[in-house]
Structure 1
């Protein structure tokens, strides 16, 4: 695992040992960031279920002003901290070792996210719970791009009832990215 592009291009990143996290592959990460492109310059990025921090660190390397990393698992949070220090991005990364829904409730109302990326554990229906919390949050605006990494069989039939609209969906061999905005 490495940083694909930007100011920290090619720097290797640690990943969390064990099967509790699934680091996004370099190829999928590159496709994702090619899709969101230049919109990262100066943005505020939120990485939920951050794992090793690879997505948020990629966003910082490509020009995000700040990234908030939310990761409850202690080993994963330590890995994020190590990766931020190694890449010298710790001054722009804010790590919160807390439950995702609790983090969303605790953010200051003045904080507005440009991008929210979430990669929850598969097959636990956490996507709906988190999207419900995000919909109630003042941190999400109609311009906020929400990106969910999910298994191919995850169904997002409910998003319109929550007040979101699917803009696009990109499928890979084993998973997909679903891009949502507030309606």
Structure 2
């Protein structure tokens, strides 16, 4: 069972497609968001959840104070789950804008003019590292000056190749999962 951990939609159970997604565990999301919130990185932010699956990461941010959330996943079942989960969160958290895009992540990034303060990149483990690198390169110009990017992968995956403009500052392991964090490089 996947659920929202805390905030206005806390304890809400999320719809999960029967196959094709690997939702971030409650334990990992709780630890990740505890760290992000302690640094003031969630309230009043614009968030992108790329390879969203159920939308759990972006919707957790919405529940905890983000004002705008974008969920992107090309799989039809995942996009449907994201839409249903977004509606459920919006019933509990008034005023948050949540948009779902059923398209490939790179296509979304190339076509959007939005900017983001916090971005979660949690692709299926079989997504090639070259695609992650291209996503990071395409994303970087769409980040606000103090933005944070979180990349979640298997602990067997190499560290992402960070493009110019992003500086890694944290790596945390949670069982089989590792989360790397990077911040927009100063000047």
- Flag whether TM exceeds 0.5 (same fold): yes
Q: Which position in structure 2 is the counterpart of 1:101?
A: 106
Stretches of structure 1 lacking an aligned partner (at least 5 in a row): none
Q: How does 1:27-46 map to 2 (within 5 A)?
A: 27-37=27-37, 38-46=40-48
Q: Which position in structure 1 is the counterpart of 2:84?
A: 82
TM-score of the two chains, using structure 2 as the length reference: 0.88
Structure 1 residue 163 displacement after superposition = 3.6
Higher strand proportion, which one? 2
CA pair 157-69 structure 1, distance change in 2 beyond 3 A: closer
In 1, Cα distance between equivalents of 2:161 and 2:112: 25
In 2, Cα distance between equivalents of 1:86 and 1:157: 33
Q: Secondary structure at the match of 2:169?
A: strand
Q: Which position in structure 1 is the counterpart of 2:175?
A: 173
In 1, Cα distance between equivalents of 2:132 and 2:81: 24
Q: How does 1:95-134 map to 2 (within 5 A)?
A: 95-108=100-113, 111-123=114-126, 124-125=128-129, 126-134=131-139
TM-score of the two chains, using structure 1 as the length reference: 0.90
User: Is 1:147 paired with 2:145?
Assistant: no
The Cα RMSD (Å) is: 1.7
In 1, Cα distance between equivalents of 2:152 and 2:25: 12
* Mapped contact 2:171–2:178 kept (Cα < 8 A): yes
Would you say how many aligned residue pairs link Structure 1 and Structure 2?
177
In 2, Cα distance between equivalents of 1:171 and 1:151: 9
Moved over 6 A (4+): none
Structure 1 residue 162 displacement after superposition = 3.6
Structure 1 residue 10 displacement after superposition = 0.7
